[in-house]
Amino acid sequence: MSDPAAHETRKAVAAAAIGNVLEWYDFGVYVFFAVDIGHNFFPNAGRSVALLASFAVFGVGFLARPVGGIVLGRLGDTRGRKLALTLTIAMMAVGTIVIGILPTYASIGIAAPVLLVLARLLQGFSAGGEWGGSTAFMVEWAPASRRGWYGSWQQSSIAASLVLSSAVGGIIYSALPHSAVTSWGWRLPFLGGIVIAVVGFYLRRQVEETPVYRAYQERSTAAPAHPERDFLLGLKAFGFTIHWTVAFYIFLSYMPTFMRLHGHLSAAAALWSNTIGLIVLMVLIPPLGALSDRIGRKTLLLISCAAFIVLPIPFFRVILGNPGFITVAFLQMIFGASIAFFSGPGPAAIAELFPTSSRSTWMTPAYALAVAIFGGFAPFIATWLIGLTGSPMAPTYYVIAAAVVSFLVILSFRETAHAPLA
């Protein structure tokens, strides 16, 4: 006979993961159509300036993430994880649909990029609450000995969302002539937000509140507040996230654009090579999360940081030598695997830093702020660094610096894999 408790855990985590896929598909698909969005919303700028402006709008969405993290994170601690997650997916769907139906600059002038920014801000506010809320939800549903495994599905579902959005981009660029994509084809993936609204909202409404949070609510006395302790833990979570977000957004979000501009791949080939790397990431995250339950989180996290200190410079030199699709796809697979060493144990490791009473309140904005500063603007920073230095190698130094910072932060962590949640 199956264990009813295990069945409920799998059901809750699966529903949250599917909702997570849909949520992050909505947020991430923008970057794969940044060139075409720049053409439609910033037509009076040159190609490079339009791309910078388009990436800046992508980054603006991340500015709202810390605010969403604070508001929705606090809501998750005071009113429950389920309510916060239901609100996030509804807001994300609205923002995505708005982008899909927006008139362009040619139709309404300056109002077009203004409305585009507002839609990205709504998406960012939603995403700010989603990451921490879904991480807390999955880790709190997990048995004590399997938090790495269950928590890893939070990141695997995000990778699946990017596989989906990258593959959708590859299909659209493969099926339509470039002029059609630039004219109207770029809208298609955003209009998929209608499906997201229906499916995602339904799934979030069906899940139950986490056992850990229910137990916290039932305690007769509230846990004493420790703002100084929580603030210091938030700083650790912030430093922990820097490498994670920079590696993710440079190598699995910005790279299709880099390959088109500097690796001499077609738009379709660049997106398909990126999709291959994302599939490797998605597949490896759960087993590495499970491995962290056995050997601990720190070793795997440090391996990922070390890989991104050593690999970026030689790999970028290979890419700039125009090696072709097969070689680029292989490098993307290695990047994906290296990120998986962090993304597998990462959700459990960051959630285990915090007590239940303040987990969502502090983890969510700390993570969101690091992503907003270092990840959301990573494509913009990479493009700006290349323009400033004149060298396509410039983004590698940004990646290496981020990995060094997180490596040092993680060295200060105590191992939490086999300790109970506070």
What's the pLDDT at 223?
Answer: 58
Mean pLDDT in the chain? 86
Residue 82 has pLDDT above 90, yes or no: no
Percent of the chain exceeding pLDDT 90 equals 35
Overall residue count recorded for the chain in this entry: 422
What's the pLDDT at 394?
Answer: 94
Residue 336 has pLDDT above 60, yes or no: yes
What are the residue ranges spanned by the domains of the chain?
4-218+226-411
More confidently predicted of 349 and 19: 349
What confidence tier does 309 reach under pLDDT thresholds 50, 70, 90? very high
Per-residue tokens: 321: 């030598």
Burial of 414 (0-12, 13-18, 19+ CB in 10 A): exposed
> What is the architecture, at CATH level 2, of domain 4-218+226-411?
Up-down Bundle (1.20)
Lowest mean per-residue pLDDT among 64-73, 232-241, 320-329: 64-73
Of 329, 334, 336, 366, which is closest to residue 351 (Cα–Cα)? 366
Residue 1 has pLDDT above 50, yes or no: no
Question: What are the helix and strand counts (H, E) for the chain?
Answer: 21, 0
What's the pLDDT at 224?
Answer: 64
What's the pLDDT at 222?
Answer: 57
In our burial notation (b when 16+ CB lie closer than 10 A, e otherwise), range 307-335 reads: bbbebbeebbeebeeeeebeebbebbbeb
Residue 204 has pLDDT above 80, yes or no: no
Burial of 293 (0-12, 13-18, 19+ CB in 10 A): buried
What's the pLDDT at 18?
Answer: 77
* pTM score: 0.80
Express each pLDDT in 114-139 by its tens digit. Answer: 999 999 999 889 888 887 788 888 88
Question: CA-to-CA distance for 254 and 336, rounded, in angstroms?
Answer: 13
Lowest mean per-residue pLDDT among 76-90, 138-152, 271-285, 408-422: 76-90
Residue 87 has pLDDT above 50, yes or no: yes
Burial of 411 (0-12, 13-18, 19+ CB in 10 A): exposed
More confidently predicted of 276 and 77: 276
Cβ–Cβ under 8 Å, residues 417 and 293: yes
